[in-house]
Amino acid sequence: MVLSETTKQELLKAQRNEITEYHVYTRIAKTLPDEENRRIVEQIGADEKRHYEIWQGYTGKEVKPNQFLIWLYTTISRLFGFTFGFKLMELGEEKAQVNYEKIAEEIPEARGVIQDESDHEDKLLTLLDEESLIYAGSVVLGLNDALVELTGALAGLTFAFRDVNIIALSGLITGIAASLSMAASEYLSTRSEKTEKDPVRAAITTGIAYVITVALLILPYLLLQNEIISLAISLTTSVVIIALFNFYVSVARDQPFGKRFLEMAGLSLSVAAFSFLIGILIRNWFGIDI
């Protein structure tokens, strides 16, 4: 079969994508303790290699994998969970399907690969069950509560006291006390429900998420001497945290990003704005000048 130069180039790109993903799946599969998950990942990897061999049959060339992407997706999978890493990689593969459509104009067999990529692998990925995702709800609870409560508290304290040291100390005490309270509440809530989650681990996960969020939000007050700039940085940090976590959840759980992000960010900033006004009113009403 005589192929156009454009199609040849698309095939070579497809070959590199497939062999790169084959190596990612193969490497991660070796690290999975669960036999069923390991089998699923190995099967997906075998499909990627088969796709590579199909394209090689047309190009007659061997293509080396992208070592950087192998390292990147392998590292992401190990740090943030294999479900997130694989699905993030699949997002890139979905963009590559446009190329397959062009290839299919000359090679009808490409439509079978498209079907494979869009249906078969998606079906396999939905079977993946990762323990860390079970506790995502506990992380959401810790993050959301810390962002809403502490951004509001910091905004109110900023305009009530106008002293970065007092604001930082007050926020830290409030945050630590609240994290212990949230951890205890998550423990009791999980224990009373019939779920897969371990109450102790759920409580620890919630508490850690809360404490980390508290530390990030208070940090500007410890490093800077201007309370207004510190508040602005804290609010910006809260939006970034919300965006990053919602991106993680949207990829790992196939949930919409925009709606969840706007909901959490809107709630957090609204509480901060309301607390901001309360701080001004309290300062003026009681004549506090620190």
Output the CA–CA distances (angstroms, integers) from residue 113 to 49, 56, 120, 179, in the order listed: 12, 14, 10, 50
| Cα–Cα dist 74/69, whole Å | 8
The pLDDT value recorded for residue 19 is: 92
Q: What is the pLDDT of residue 23?
A: 93
- Write out pLDDT tens, residues 196-246: 678 888 888 888 888 888 889 899 998 888 888 988 898 888 888 888 888
Query: What pLDDT was estimated at residue 22?
Result: 92
Rounded CA gap, 239 and 233, in Å? 10
* Selection from 229, 231, 249 nearest residue 87 by Cα: 249
Question: Residue ranges of the domains in the chain?
Answer: 5-129, 134-286
Handedness of CA 8, 9, 11, 15 (dihedral sign): positive
Selection from 288, 279, 150, 157 nearest residue 227 by Cα: 157
**Mean pLDDT for the chain?**
79
Q: What is the pLDDT of residue 27?
A: 92
The pLDDT score that the predictor gives to residue 123 is 62
Residue 263: per-residue pLDDT: 80
Q: Which residues of the chain have pLDDT under 50?
A: 290
pLDDT of residue 211: 87
pLDDT for res 67 = 92
